Structure 1
Amino acid sequence: MPSRGRRARRQATVEGRRAVLEALRAGRPVRRILLSATVRPGPQVAEIVALAEASGVEVEAVGREALERASLTGHHQGVIALVPDPRYVDVEDLVARARASCAPALLVMLDGIEDPHNFGAIVRTVDAAGGHGVIIPSRRAASITPGAVRASAGALEHVPVARVV
């Protein structure tokens, strides 16, 4: 559950190496990256640090306790990006994007999907299929949460989502 301070600043998290890397690649605004002081170096971590530095994003080495406090999913792989809360687009924007594309339009409408991990997996599939966007209900449905972002493996950084009543 987000702390009152995080909610007051309208801040969310992107958690996990792949999800953080895709957020940086997509140019999503990132306020700061928390990186485990004991994280194993590797190509993904190196690229995260390089992209963050190139974008002027602070990378802070922190202990396990700080990562656990900041994590909303508990599955951060030693990397958490602090980002503005997710923004949804208008359905009209999705339709315009689909019409402007050279590819056949593919908009996916979801109803009854309440589990954020299922939502993230569906968005990942929409991204792989070249979809232009996803439309979800504004009530009683999964939304863009850190768990959904993680399950999407970064696809939510590329696939716009609209909410309808």
Structure 2
Amino acid sequence: MVKANQNRRQPSNNRSKPKFDRRNAKPRDIQPQVPVETGDEAEQSEFVFGRHAVAETLKTGSVQTINKLFVQADLSSDAVHQIVQQAQQKKIVVSQVPKSKLDLLSDGGNHQGVMVTIAPYAYASIDDLFAVAAEKDEAPFFLILDNLEDPHNLGSIMRTADAVGVHGIIIPKHRAVGLTSTVAKTSTGAIEHVKVARVTNLAQTINILKERGMWIFGTAMDGQDFRQWDASGATALVIGNEGKGISPGVAKLMDATLTIPMVGHVQSLNASVAAGVLMYQAFSSRQVSS
């Protein structure tokens, strides 16, 4: 059984690759804006659009991060009215604009007649992610996204991560998608609940996570069947790039690898789909453990 054991082993400078069954492993030590307008200044802001995403942003965001709500001038549905009321209760400026303006700002996206402008999303630190787990009194469970490029994949992954209780996501600063309005829209509000840390060097960060008590799992064609994975301990799951998978420098740092058996003609899954399958296996094993 692939296992992130609840028993933690002490850090070591001479780490040998752990055996597949970790039940007898020794423990690792776990450590616990500016106003914007629709003109040139709008380029300095992020946009969240779509009724569900906007409502969630208004519910969880603060007046310091949310600047203005744009509403399509000719809309008067109950859903839009409730969104306007949310904004007014927080004393957020509401501006009626023509549909063409929302089409332009959303780059033709499905804005459903509402949009908010917000300050660029703030990233968390690795310590922040550990703090989330500590606050819930749970063994840390992180996702590490190795140079993911598609904002829709990141948004979908964030949505599932929120559903299964992931404590945080780690992404690289360079050659990878960051937190954008497209990510926010695709996440349907999960971006407000899942902390994301952005780091300069993923390999270095993984080594730090190991020193702080985490087991690192990745995907590989010759890995062990994911259905036998027990992620009940301090666990980080690495999801690779959409086309290239996990980079060689990161792959060699895996404690163990997992594979998703497939019997169809297409022998690969979209990154967000694969991440979702693995996250739910981790969620299941952690629920049984707790």
Same fold? TM cut 0.5: yes
Structure with greater contact order relative to length (CA < 8 Å, sep ≥ 6): 1
**Structure 1 match to 2:247:** none
CA distance in 2, matches of 1:76, 1:146: 11
Q: Is the 8 A contact 1:33 1:82 kept in 2?
A: yes
Which residue of 2 is the match for residue 32 of structure 1? 68
- 1:19 aligned partner: 53
Listed one character per residue, the Cα deviations across residues 117-153 of structure 1 (whole Å, up to 9, x for unaligned) are: 0000000000000111111111111111111110000
Equivalent residue, structure 2, for 1:5:
41
Q: 1:91 aligned to 2:120? A: no
Q: Does 1:64 align with 2:64?
A: no
Distance 1:70 1:122 in 2: 25
Higher mean C-alpha deviation, range 118-127 or range 104-113: 104-113
Q: Secondary structure at the match of 2:84?
A: helix
Q: Which runs of 5+ in 1 are unaligned?
A: none
The 1-side partners of 2:84 and 2:39 are apart by 27
Q: CA deviation at 1:36?
A: 0.6
Structure 2 counterpart of 1:115: 150
TM-score, normalization by structure 2:
0.52
Q: Which amino acid aligns with 1:118?
A: N
Give the TM-score of the pair, scaled to structure 1: 0.89
Any runs of at least 4 consecutive aligned residues in structure 1 with deviations exceeding 4 A, and if so which? Answer: none
Give the conservation status (yes or no) of the 8 Å contact 1:108–1:135. Answer: yes
Identity among equivalent positions (%) equals 37
2:179 is aligned, of 144, 149, 154, to 144
Highest CA radius of gyration, 1 or 2?
A: 2
Alpha-carbon distance in structure 2 between the residues aligned to 1:134 and 1:101: 16
1:3–1:54 Cα change, 3 Å? closer
The 3-state SS of whatever aligns with 2:177 is coil
Structure 2: which 5+ residue stretches go unaligned?
1-37, 201-290
Shift, 1:100, TM fit: 2.3
